[in-house]
Amino acid sequence: MSKQDGSSRQVTTGPVDDSATPILHVDMDAFFVSVELLSRPELRGKPVLVGGAAGRGVVSAASYEARKYGVNSAMPMSVALQRCPNAIVLPGDYRKYREYSDRVMELFGEMTPLVEPLSIDEAFLDVGGARRLHGSPAQIGWTIRERVRIETGLTCSIGVAATKYVAKVASSRAKPDGLLVVPAADTIAFLHPLPVSALWGVGKVTEERLARLGLRTVADVAAMPHEALVRAVGRALADRLTHLANGDDPREVSVHRVEKSIGHETTFSHDLTDPEAIKRALLDLSNDVAVRVRRAGVVARTVSLKLRYGDFRTVTRSRTLAEPTDVAKRIYEEAAAALEGLVGDGARIRLIGVRAEQLRETGGAAPLWDPDEEWREAERTIDEVAAKFGRHTVRPASLLGRGRRAVDLSRRDSDPDEA
């Protein structure tokens, strides 16, 4: 069941058939502005712009209050301020936006491994294989929205559909802060009343060209004789528009990305407060990371530590090594050094992560001076034992007798900025 309010916003409010709708498109609402308002709650409900105010500055993001004046992203700031003179302009903090983006993308990855980031603030998810763990696609969508709100203070809009294209259209219809499920059987009924601008590939020029042919809705495009559409916009675009107008989109969610780092992280079933327990977890993670670094035939120049506290506040610290390494002892020592000052005084730790960054291939050549040579040989011996008898057959003394982590969310990470 869905409803439409006085605007074009459309959301699902009750039971709906989501049995054949495994694709989610999650889009953060006014992302840059929303992140800024976390530390400026007094600006909520006001027209806020993020971007450069001087010279040829442009709008990077606009609050929904500012959008009512016809302001949108990529617009020259001078034009935006003419349309909305009372707008409040804030400079961007892209490092902060990246941190929040990483937290959100990580949350998506906890629901399904099939995540395809499109940009810093949106992604496609295929949740077809996650039903047993997390419920139906609609239930997963509700869970994601709630977790994003609780864990970051931000809101997102989600489209749930049978294809990527329809899911993306649905998320745009649900904005802001809504969820819309389009049952597979209702795909055509959902798409056809929409304006032609809802079709991917239809910009202002193409929209005007289609309007001259009397094509103003998606239904008009679907009903247009194909060869006539080819003559109007060319074969490639005509083929795409015809497929989309009929709800056809065979593309799958793609997770192939260039790996620029190797990391493991753990979310604990209960917050940790004991510094020694935290260090043991750090050592465990460092060993896991080192094994994969060696297996990949690379060494790391930078070690990054990630901590998430019980209140969901997240901090990261990085340390650059004099010589790149693949040795767990070195990775642990650097991560432990980064940990100093971050725990203690009753701090409650929800998540710990260790990541090896600035990777490069070893090429089989060792540096002239290698302070970790003996440890490296020992750890490679352990690798050989593990290959024969199983992982954790041989472990550091401080880890003996410990079971595996209660909740292990470890996985490979990559930095979107470097991909």
Only one residue has tokens 């940990």, namely 339
Task: Return the pLDDT at 349.
Answer: 93
Please tell me which residue, 396 or 28, carries the higher pLDDT value. Answer: 28
Please tell me which residue, 67 or 363, carries the higher pLDDT value. Answer: 67
Which helix (DSSP H) or strand (DSSP E) does residue 165 occupy?
A: helix 164-173
Q: Domain 2-23+95-185, what architecture?
A: 2-Layer Sandwich (3.30)
**Binding-site residues for Mg(2+):** 27, 121
**What does each C-alpha distance from 45 to 92, 393, 397 come to in angstroms?**
19, 58, 56
60 backbone dihedrals φ, ψ, rounded to 5°: -85, -30
- Pair 317, 305: CB distance under 8 Å: yes
Kindly state the average pLDDT of the residues 71-76: 86
Other beta carbons within 10 Å of 281: 20
Please give the Cα distance from 282 to 267 (Å, whole number): 12
Separation of CA 17 from chain center: 27
Mean pLDDT of the chain: 85
Sheet of 88-90, strand order: 59-62, 48-51, 88-90
Task: Return the pLDDT at 114.
Answer: 96
Kindly state the average pLDDT of the residues 10-39: 95
Task: Return the pLDDT at 73.
Answer: 84
CATH number of the domain located at residue range(s) 192-245 in this protein: 1.10.150.20
Query: What is the percent of the chain where pLDDT is above 90?
Result: 56
Alpha-carbon torsion (171, 95, 311, 61), positive or negative: negative
Please give the Cα distance from 208 to 226 (Å, whole number): 18
Alpha-carbon torsion (392, 398, 400, 404), positive or negative: negative
Task: Return the pLDDT at 292.
Answer: 87
Most confident range (mean pLDDT) of 264-273, 284-293, 336-345 is 284-293
Can you give the residue ranges of every domain in the chain?
A: 2-23+95-185, 32-94, 192-245, 262-399
Q: Answer yes or no: same fold for 32-94 and 192-245.
A: no
- Pair 180, 160: CB distance under 8 Å: yes
- pLDDT band (50, 70, 90) for residue 411: very low
**Choosing from 36, 65, 110, 122, which is the catalytic residue?**
122
The model's pLDDT over 215-274, given as tens digits with 9 standing for 90+, comes to 999 999 999 999 999 998 888 889 999 999 999 999 999 886 545 789 888 888 788 999
Instruction: Assess if CATH 3.40.1170.60 describes domain 32-94.
Output: yes
340 is catalytic: no
Do you find a cis peptide bond into 117, omega within 30 degrees of 0? no
Task: Return the pLDDT at 1.
Answer: 54
Which helix (DSSP H) or strand (DSSP E) does residue 299 occupy?
A: strand 298-309
Please tell me which residue, 118 or 115, carries the higher pLDDT value. Answer: 115
Q: What is the pTM of this model?
A: 0.62
Most confident range (mean pLDDT) of 115-129, 148-162, 205-219, 324-338 is 148-162
Which of 60-69, 168-177, 381-390, 409-418 is least confident?
Answer: 409-418
Q: How many residues does the chain have?
A: 419
Only one residue has tokens 């603030």, namely 121
Query: What is the percent of the chain where pLDDT is above 70?
Result: 83
**What does the DSSP assignment read for 179-229?**
EEE--GGGHHHHHTTSBGGGSTT--HHHHHHHHHTT--BHHHHHHS-HHHH
CATH number of the domain located at residue range(s) 262-399 in this protein: 3.30.1490.100
- Residue 28, helix vs strand vs coil: strand
Separation of CA 209 from chain center: 36
Provide the β-strand partners of residue 350.
Answer: none
Please give the Cα distance from 104 to 31 (Å, whole number): 11
Task: Return the pLDDT at 267.
Answer: 81
Task: Return the pLDDT at 76.
Answer: 84
- pLDDT band (50, 70, 90) for residue 324: confident
The model's pLDDT over 133-171, given as tens digits with 9 standing for 90+, comes to 999 999 999 999 999 999 999 999 999 999 999 999 999
pLDDT above 60 for 394: no
**Binding-site residues:** 27, 121
Which of 17-31, 81-95, 217-231, 381-395 is least confident?
Answer: 381-395
Alpha-carbon torsion (32, 34, 35, 37), positive or negative: positive
The model's pLDDT over 347-388, given as tens digits with 9 standing for 90+, comes to 899 899 999 988 887 654 444 445 566 666 666 666 665 555
pLDDT above 70 for 132: yes
